[in-house]
């Protein structure tokens, strides 16, 4: 019987012979494999009433594993005077152009320097509270190393309205991406479900296991032979969706060291992906608004190299 602040997992025969850290991450999908590895190192996991003495232990069918949860570390989010590239602002909504390298909201290991820290300084208390103190005003997000436009809700009514538009797939989100290889077609759709990668809990993958529908529309904008500039429009908004879908169809993003070739080419050390167009109905007036941001200098520099290479 597990104590307070802990939970019990009884191992299924399907996981027999699996290393305990991987087995736990598969049985309890809310936490990653690395999370359970840390708990094993700190003695917070018991197997059949005895402390687990090795991360290499392979579970047996019927093993009763007690996971003792450490006290959560409380994050405090402080306003920081970080410049924001603001495209639009009123009493309901804020549209900002996020630079590459900025995390959207704080987490352990990234407690400061985030977009939320900057927005708190700029807006003060004028942010929605729906996503709590760690993500005030955040309706959607983009990856740390993806640049571009995102919207922030300044009150709960605006947040609910924008979140509803996201759920109904009525928000326009168009990205620019440089991907590997040429396309035989000019446009296409990837309609494949995305969930946690069963082989690597830190990644996403096209999978039928505990996944959600994901739809990406793409069209070719410029061909360079070994690379292609595309526009990708999101119908859904899953984590790493464009990166995962493009890798799935054998066109990984240039510079994406997670889902593509792990080598730096043409000066691209992170994925060439920019959230260029954002459109939505204003939560108060119902008027459709659309914003467009230019490609970052680094993205343009890579394109210039490709054009020069193409023209010989």
Contact 36, 21 (CB under 8 A): yes
Which residues touch 264 (CB under 8 Å, ≥6 apart)? 255
Positive or negative: CA dihedral 11, 25, 77, 104: negative
Strands (E), the chain: 6-10, 45-47, 50-51, 64-68, 86-89, 93-98, 147-153, 172-180, 187-191, 194-197, 200-206, 215-223, 227-234, 273-281, 288-292
Q: Taking the CA atoms of the chain, what radius of gyration do you get in angstroms?
A: 22
Q: Which of 306, 145, 288, 135 is nearest to 230 (CA)?
A: 306
At 132, is the secondary structure helix, strand, or coil? coil
Q: Please give the Cα distance from 86 to 71 (Å, whole number).
A: 38
Q: Please give the Cα distance from 257 to 73 (Å, whole number).
A: 30
Q: Please give the Cα distance from 257 to 281 (Å, whole number).
A: 36
Q: Which of 224, 114, 216 is nearest to 175 (CA)?
A: 216
Strand partners, 253: 179
DSSP conformational letter for 49: T
Active-site residue list: 143
Contact 87, 291 (CB under 8 A): yes
Q: Please give the Cα distance from 228 to 225 (Å, whole number).
A: 7
């Amino acid at each position: 019987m597990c104590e307070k602040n802990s939970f019990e997992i009884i191992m299924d025969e399907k996981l027999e012979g699996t290393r305990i850290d991987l087995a736990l991450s598969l049985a309890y999908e809310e936490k990653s494999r690395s999370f359970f590895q840390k708990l094993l190192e700190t003695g917070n996991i018991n197997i059949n009433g005895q402390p687990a003495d090795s991360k290499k232990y392979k579970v047996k069918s019927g093993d009763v594993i007690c996971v003792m949860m450490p006290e959560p570390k409380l994050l405090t989010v402080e306003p920081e005077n970080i410049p924001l590239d603001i495209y639009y602002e009123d009493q309901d909504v804020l549209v900002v152009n996020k630079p590459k390298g900025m995390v959207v909201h704080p987490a352990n290991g990234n407690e400061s320097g985030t977009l939320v820290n900057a927005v708190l300084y700029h807006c003060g208390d004028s942010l929605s509270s729906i996503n709590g103190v760690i993500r005030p005003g955040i309706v959607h997000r983009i990856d740390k190393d993806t640049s571009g436009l995102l919207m922030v809700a300044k009150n709960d009514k605006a947040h609910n309205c924008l979140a509803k538009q996201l759920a109904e797939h009525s928000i326009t989100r168009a990205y620019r991406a440089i991907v590997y290889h040429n396309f035989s077609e000019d446009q296409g759709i990837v309609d494949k479900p995305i969930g946690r990668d069963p082989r690597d809990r830190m990644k996403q993958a096209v999978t039928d296991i505990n996944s959600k529908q994901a739809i990406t529309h793409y069209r070719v904008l410029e061909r360079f032979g070994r690379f292609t500039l595309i526009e990708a429009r999101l119908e859904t908004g899953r984590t790493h969706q464009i990166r995962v879908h493009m890798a799935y169809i054998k066109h990984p993003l240039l510079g994406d060291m997670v889902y593509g070739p792990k080598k730096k080419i043409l000066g691209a050390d992170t994925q060439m992906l920019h959230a260029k167009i954002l459109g939505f109905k204003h939560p108060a007036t119902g008027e459709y608004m659309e914003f467009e941001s230019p490609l970052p200098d680094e993205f343009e520099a890579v394109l210039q190299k490709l054009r020069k290479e193409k023209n010989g």
